[in-house]
Amino acid sequence: MTGAEAVDQVRRLRPGPLPRHVAIIMDGNGRWAEQRKRPRFFGHAEGAKAVRRVVTTARESNIEALTLYAFSVQNWARPQQEVACLMGLLFDYLGEERRTILDNGIRLQGIGEIDRLPGFVQKKLRSLERESANNEGMTLSLALSYGAREDITTACRRLATEVSEGRLRPEDITPERLGAQMMTKGLPPVDLLVRTSGELRLSNFLLWECAYAEIVVTDVLWPDFQESHFFECIDVFRSRSRRFGLTGQQVASIESVAGADRA
Ligand code: IPE
Ligand code: IPE
Ligand code: MG
């Protein structure tokens, strides 16, 4: 799909704001392969193609931040062969998509316990992070060896150290200060959280950042996820009424004032 077609596709949807930050739990690779009586590896390889599609589509749709759950801290406990296959695919992805990422002004970053990844993957990731650091088009965060509880714990430990060294008072700890210690610092909060393969759980993903995210679950297995599914998720997002704790009436009056200001 070209950039112009993507923009057109977005325009045809229900009008409304775009999510600034989209996060996706890319699930269902194994089941996709099992349905075809193929090894799980086959599903992961096909899933990597869906990653390429969604990154391009999100960029062309002017999404500010896209965060993809590629490998959780808990996924290390999978069979060693499967872990090795995922690391190999990640290495290939970073190599093959380098040009596309740089040419499209995408800033790429890894979030998670990156130093647990094999050296050859770390090297590739760090070099693309450096090369893309000044890009301003879209921030693509790959969650790798990522766990939200682990990230929150590390952030708390950092603030606790500051307190114990007398550099911070406990009463000065705010959600903003804690959030600024997390690996997602600088990104807007997640507006839209998508999970594929029909599972209704968060699996330790962005627990803090998703405080007010709209959650969309689709039965589509990740390797089958197409541009059209991405646009459908955006459309569902736009159909939601986000209230952030206010009443519907309050939200309506804020929106009408904002509408008048724009006119
Ligand atoms: C998601 O697909 C990819 C990773 C977790 C790395 P799964 O491998 O979890 O696929 P299912 O859930 O077994 O179908
Ligand atoms: C979540 O999927 C992790 C990723 C998509 C990388 P899992 O397949 O690991 O999650 P559970 O085990 O079903 O909760
Ligand atoms: Mg799974």
pLDDT at 46: 98
pLDDT at 258: 82
Phi, psi of 39 (to 5 degrees): -65, 155
pLDDT in single tens digits along all 263 residues of the chain = 676 776 666 666 667 889 999 999 999 999 999 999 999 999 999 999 999 999 999 999 999 999 999 999 999 999 999 999 999 999 999 999 999 999 999 999 999 999 999 999 999 999 999 999 999 999 999 999 999 999 999 999 999 999 999 999 999 999 999 999 999 999 999 999 999 999 999 999 999 999 999 999 999 999 999 999 999 999 999 999 999 999 999 999 998 888 888 77
pLDDT at 110: 98
pLDDT at 238: 94
pLDDT at 5: 72
Phi, psi of 70 (to 5 degrees): -100, -30
Q: Which of 24, 26, 29, 72 to mutate to test the pocket of ligand 1 (most atoms within 8 A of CB)?
A: 29
CA distance 97 to 128: 10
Cα 177 to Cα 4, 15, 29, 154, 171: the distances in Å are 40, 35, 37, 13, 11
pLDDT at 103: 98
Of 54, 82, 25, nearest to 209 (Cα)? Answer: 25
Query: Which is the closest atom of ligand 2 to the Cα of 143?
Result: 6
Question: What ligand has the least distance to the C-alpha of 205?
Answer: 2
Global pTM reads 0.95
Which chain residues have CB less than 5 Å from ligand 3, an ion? 27
| Helix/strand/coil for 106 | strand
DSSP character for 27? -
pLDDT at 22: 98
Give the active site residue among 62, 75, 135, 224: 75
pLDDT at 186: 97
Question: What ligand has the least distance to the C-alpha of 199?
Answer: 2
pLDDT at 6: 66
Residue 185: Cβ-neighbour burial (10 angstroms; 0-12, 13-18, 19+) = exposed
Question: Does 75 participate in catalysis according to the annotation?
Answer: yes
Residue whose CA is closest, atom 10 of ligand 2?
203
